[in-house]
Every structure is written in C-alpha cells, then in structure tokens.
Amino acid sequence: MPEYRIVSEADPGPDHREPRGARLRLDEAREVTVTEARNVSDLIEDIERGLPAAGDARAHQTRRIVAIEEVHPGFSYADDEIGRALGTAETSPTGEQLVDPMGSTGEPHDPDLVAQVVNGLRESGLVPGLNISVLANEPDEPYAMVEVFDDALGAYRSIGTEVRKIADDRDAEPGWDAVLSIARGLISLSNDLH
C-alpha cells in the first residue's frame, strides 16, 4: 500500500484564522505523520471518522490539515537494468544508445558525461523529470543543480552539488563503470528530492 505524509497545524477555531501556513513556521505547532492507505480518499475518510485504520493519522482529526502527499517509494535499479537502458540501441527503450562514455573523457567527474547520463536516465524512463544545469564558470570545480520535475506541484525540486560528488564511486574506471557510478549517484539524489 502507498504511504502518505500528512501535515497539519493547530486549528485556532472559526473566530480567528491566521493566514494559511503562518503557524508552520513554528515546529511545535506543526504535526507530521506518515501512514499507509489504499488511496487519499480512504485516508481522509478514516481520519474524519476516527477509524483505527487511520492509525497515527487520527492525531490530525482535530487539527487543520494543510497537506497530504504520497511518499515517493524511491527508485532502485540493478546495474544491469541501468546498463540495458542506457547502453546499446537494441536494449534501450528509445531504440538508440543514450550514453556514449567514449564520447568524452569517460571519467566519473566529467560534466559532459554526467549530462549524458542525466538525459539517458530521463529519456529511458528510469528517472522521469530528471534534469541538470552545470555551472561551469569555475573550471576546476564545476557545480551542478540536479533537478526533478514534480508533476503534482508543476514545479522543480533541486539540489546543488559539485559535479565530482555526483558519482557514488569517484574512483570508478573510465567508461561504463563511471556511467554506472554516475547513474547510481543521480538516482540517489533524485530519491532525496522526492
């Protein structure tokens, strides 16, 4: 069953309403719970009725609920799945090779290779909405903004990092080892953004 994150704040009552989100600045006024449910409708109904199926979510029954969102389960792929998706035209879901590690230095810290892997992960469907912006104004330390487009919000969530820190194995051999290392690092970053 999917998990949902519920965020609520103390309800000041009908006589006095503060602007939405004003109380969220105070951590003690904000309640956050993660619970399982078949869908959002069932979860809301269970909370309203105070049913045991709502579990810890019943704490939100007397509060003003300001957000309910599905918790992203996270992407997890084996190296062979990543290799098939990014590798040859025959195994790629798009019918073309998405990453050519020999078209650049093939190193795990090469900004061009990182950009290829980002495009490959997005185009193959392994990590939908993944993008990257590399700020190469520092030649020694290129900096990147890794972004994931959130369809539900219609907005990007992003995290900044140095390009050399993206790969999960910075000592990976040039070529496919570097591609897989970069892909694993990007998948981990995208999971953090969800």
Q: pLDDT by residue (tens digit) across 100-130?
A: 877 667 777 888 889 999 999 998 888 988 9
What would the mean pLDDT of 11-28 be, rounded to a whole number? 56
User: Domain span at residue 123?
Assistant: 79-193
What would the mean pLDDT of 52-80 be, rounded to a whole number? 77
- Among the candidates 70, 91, 120, a domain finishes at 70
Q: Which amino acid is at 54?
A: A
Q: Which two tokens stand for residue 80?
A: 């062979």
- Among the candidates 49, 70, 91, a domain finishes at 70
**pLDDT class for 24, splitting at 50, 70, 90?**
very low
Among 50-54, 154-158, 185-189, name the one with the lowest average pLDDT: 50-54
Query: CB neighbours of 66 closer than 8 A, spacing ≥ 6?
Result: 7, 8, 9, 20, 21, 24
Same domain (yes/no): 53, 98: no
DSSP class of residue 157? Answer: E
Alpha carbon distance, N-terminus to C-terminus of the chain? 18
Q: Indicate the Cα dihedral angle 92, 93, 96, 100, nearest 10°.
A: -40
Same domain (yes/no): 84, 167: yes
Same domain (yes/no): 65, 84: no
- pLDDT at 164 > cutoff 90: no
Query: CB neighbours of 78 closer than 8 A, spacing ≥ 6?
Result: none
Same domain (yes/no): 103, 17: no
Same domain (yes/no): 30, 84: no
Beta carbons of 144 and 136 less than 8 angstroms apart:
no
By three-state DSSP, how is residue 132 classified? strand
Around 134, how many Cα atoms within 13 Å sit in the side-chain half-sphere? 19
Q: Domain count of the chain?
A: 2
**pLDDT class for 157, splitting at 50, 70, 90?**
confident
pTM for the full predicted model? 0.69
How many other CB atoms are there within 10 angstroms of residue 156's CB atom?
13
Phi, psi values for residue 123, rounded to 5°: -65, -30
Beta carbons of 86 and 79 less than 8 angstroms apart:
no
- pLDDT at 184 > cutoff 80: yes
What is the structure's pLDDT at 16?
53
Beta carbons of 125 and 86 less than 8 angstroms apart:
no
- pLDDT at 189 > cutoff 80: yes
- pLDDT at 27 > cutoff 70: no
Same domain (yes/no): 84, 57: no
Same domain (yes/no): 63, 86: no
- pLDDT at 91 > cutoff 60: yes
